[in-house]
Amino acid sequence: MLDVAEPTEQIPAPTARALASARRFVAEHGTPAKAVVENIGRAGARVVLVGADGALGDVIVPGPETGAALVEAVEDLEPAEWDAATVGAVKIGAGHRHRMAGPAGRR
């Protein structure tokens, strides 16, 4: 009988740059800050940050597991979902809405 070990997949740890970016966001935009980890396919995962002041930010990481590890590693960063409380905490100004509209918004 062959003894075949189950392959164990290594979850990439968040980089120092990703951790620094998330920590800087929390320091600049207040606590508690929220983080929603979104799978974006082969590109990895997007960790959307929502500050206590309603500001939005994001960090791209290799995958959802790495995103969860980033949230766990950053003090005062709480895991969240896009529920009513998280959506309601976001404050999007006219300038941001204009930029997000792309070329159609510049007409």
Q: Can you name the residues that pair with 45 across neighbouring β-strands?
A: 39, 61
- Asked whether the predicted pLDDT for residue 79 surpasses 80, the reply is yes
Assigned token pair, 10: 């290594």
Residues 6 or more apart whose Cβ sits within 8 Å of residue 42: none
State the pTM of this model: 0.81
The chain-wide mean pLDDT, for the chain, equals 89
Average pLDDT over residues 76-96: 91
Task: Please report the pLDDT score of residue 5 as a whole number.
Answer: 54
Confidence label for 94 from pLDDT (cuts 50, 70 and 90): confident
DSSP annotation string for the chain: ----PPP-PPPPPPPHHHHHHHHHHHHHH-SSEEEEEEE-GGG-EEEEEE-TTS-EEEEEESSHHHHHHHHHHSTTEEE--S-HHHHHH----HHHHHHHTGGGGG-
pLDDT tens string 4-56: 555 567 888 999 999 999 999 999 999 999 999 999 999 999 999 999 999 99
Task: Please report the pLDDT score of residue 2 as a whole number.
Answer: 58
